[in-house]
Amino acid sequence: MKAVFIDLSGVLYIGREAIPGAREAVARLQASGLVIRFVTNTSRMTRRQILESLRGLGFEIHDEQLVTAPSAARDWFAERGLRPWCLVHKAIREEFEALDQSNPNAVLIGDAADDFTYAHLNRAFELCLEGAPLVGIGRNRYFRLDGHFLLDAGPFIRAIEYAADVEAVIVGKPSKTFFEQVLRDAGCSAGETMMIGDDVEGDIEGALKAGLQACLVRTGKYRPGDEHRIDGDFRVEDSIVEAVDYLLGS
């Protein structure tokens, strides 16, 4: 194995708490010489905030090691000269400031939290009904915060797809295009890379379909039985600690 891609929420931390042993596991990886990318669909924090938050929790992470789905979304619109209407969390609106958002002709849906109102969803729907392409940040069903399971962007993307009878372009996991971008950036081939995540569809199934190896961890949003929800060969470990033990052969 030459490279490892690591999901953030639920793998390194839950809410505002690092998972026991995760810091040391990441430090051992950083010292190992493996190429590392932290790959997240999180759309409640900017890149800068994610980096600060990880460092605040004691994780060693270099700027260029972080790959976020919102950045991939911004690039997608910019490359096509589209003007998106962004139904995203207020915390990450600044990531899209460089794009013209007047008179929108495209729609972006991320995890908008309390901004998922009936009025906002109707706005997204009407634009899609008029032909605006729909871009979704991931297809994640839910995540875990403060002991609660909370709806992620996926269900709302499905809702608009169903209402307007369209199919969303997905940026971030589990999109094969996204995994391939990260592989190119990391300079590694799929077969020599392992994805570690707690989301059996977004992280594990997505990685397998892109040809990577994968390891599901039983932390974060993991629920017993998740490993039987998808087909394919992948490892299952109790946490990032045991996953890193396996990778480093210790």
Residue 222 touches its own copies, criterion: CB under 8 A: no
Residue 156 touches its own copies, criterion: CB under 8 A: yes
CA distance to 64, 77, 87, 102, 131, per residue, from 120 (Å) = 34, 20, 7, 16, 17
Number of residues that bind its own copies (CB under 8 A): 31
Is there a contact between 21 and 249 (Cβ–Cβ < 8 Å)?
no
Nearer to its own copies, 65 or 140 (CB): 140
C-beta of 64: minimal distance to its own copies in Å? 34
How many other C-beta atoms can be found within 10 angstroms of the C-beta atom of residue 86? 26
| Helical segments of 2-68, H only | 22-32, 47-56
Residue 159 touches its own copies, criterion: CB under 8 A: yes
How many whole angstroms separate alpha carbon 240 and alpha carbon 237?
7
Collapsing DSSP to helix, strand or coil, 80 comes out as: helix
CA distance to 45, 136, 239, per residue, from 192 (Å) = 30, 28, 21
C-beta of 160: minimal distance to its own copies in Å? 7
Token pair for residue 201? 């569809």
Residue 91 touches its own copies, criterion: CB under 8 A: no
What is the strand order of the sheet 106-109 is part of?
Answer: 84-87, 106-109, 134-137, 169-171
CA atoms within 13 A on the CB side of 137: 30
C-beta of 10: minimal distance to its own copies in Å? 16
Residue where the block lists tokens 């839950």: 14
Nearer to its own copies, 155 or 232 (CB): 155
Residue 160 touches its own copies, criterion: CB under 8 A: yes
Nearer to its own copies, 57 or 163 (CB): 163
C-beta of 7: minimal distance to its own copies in Å? 19
Looking only at residues 95 through 154 of this chain, which bind its own copies when binding is defined by CB under 8 A? 112-119, 121-122, 125-126, 129, 141-142, 148-152, 154
* From 38-46, 163-171, 186-194, 242-250, span contacting its own copies (CB under 8 A): 163-171
- Using CB under 8 A, list all residues that contact its own copies: 112-119, 121-122, 125-126, 129, 141-142, 148-152, 154-156, 158-160, 162-165, 229
